[in-house]
Amino acid sequence: MKKVSNNEVERLYRFTREHFVVYYDVQTELVDHLANGIENQWQDDPGISFEQALQKEFKKFGVYGFSDVVEKRERAMEKRYFKLILKEIITVLTRPKVSVGLLLIFLLSNFFLSLNNGKDAYLIFLFIVFCIVLIIAGRRAVIRRKAKEGKKVFLFETMIENAGGYFSLVWIPFQFLNFMDASEGGFINWMMSFLIAFYALTSYVCFYRLPKNKEDILKKVYPEMKYF
């Protein structure tokens, strides 16, 4: 049976990129699927050209093309990413230095929240969020530049660099602060202090620990692929 050549495999990779699939692992999954489909078509009709078979195979993905496949892979990797975060949080909590640091953050947060009905704390959180925005923007720029240079960009790598959907959760404390009332002080302040300490812990994991160990993580996630 006629097989897809190496040059045709490269054409399939270009084809996936032309249809807005930027992640190498998802590209590879689609290339394998397309190649198998094309070879099956050649088995039934040896006279059909590679391009004709490719277009026929692509039509099977429907009007949205590869987007459904990409979304499914993103959802699957998101679950894996958050499981990894939970595992790392449990790991770092066993370290005395981390526990002491979180306690200090908890106490300082409670102090600032008691000042001026929490407005001072609001300004501090706003500054922290601004820093997070800069970090994520910088890492996204690195990923985009890497893709433009034709280097391999993996889906899980992008999640590590962008901290998954962490940024959307950062705004939760602001919602609490908006409804804070000085007369309610105590309980809300303690609850907010706990939440802030938790965010400090997850920020350490998402923005330092995971990116620092990115290469080892990717080797485990993609053992069948040559990352370097």
pLDDT at residue 7, rounded to an integer: 93
Residues 31 and 84 both lie in one domain: no
Domain end among 17, 42, 65: 65
Residues 206 and 102 both lie in one domain: yes
The residue among 163 and 62 whose pLDDT is bigger is 62
Q: Is 226 part of any domain?
A: no
Residues 41 and 123 both lie in one domain: no
Residues 131 and 197 both lie in one domain: yes
Q: Looking at the 3D structure of the chain, how many domains does it have? A: 2
Give one word for 20, left, alpha or beta, with left for phi > 0 and alpha for psi -120 to 50. Answer: left
Residues 104 and 190 both lie in one domain: yes
Torsion of CA 83, 84, 86, 91, to 10 degrees: 150
Amino acid at 14: R
Residue-number span of the structural domain to which 31 is assigned: 6-65
User: Whole-number mean pLDDT of the chain?
Assistant: 82
- On the question of pLDDT at 192 being above 80, the answer is no
Q: Is 100 part of any domain?
A: yes
Stretch among 7-11, 83-87, 184-188 having the lowest mean pLDDT? 184-188
Q: What percent of the chain has pLDDT over 90?
A: 31
Instruction: Tell me the average pLDDT across 52-57.
Output: 94
- On the question of pLDDT at 108 being above 90, the answer is no
Instruction: Tell me the average pLDDT across 82-100.
Output: 88
- On the question of pLDDT at 118 being above 70, the answer is no
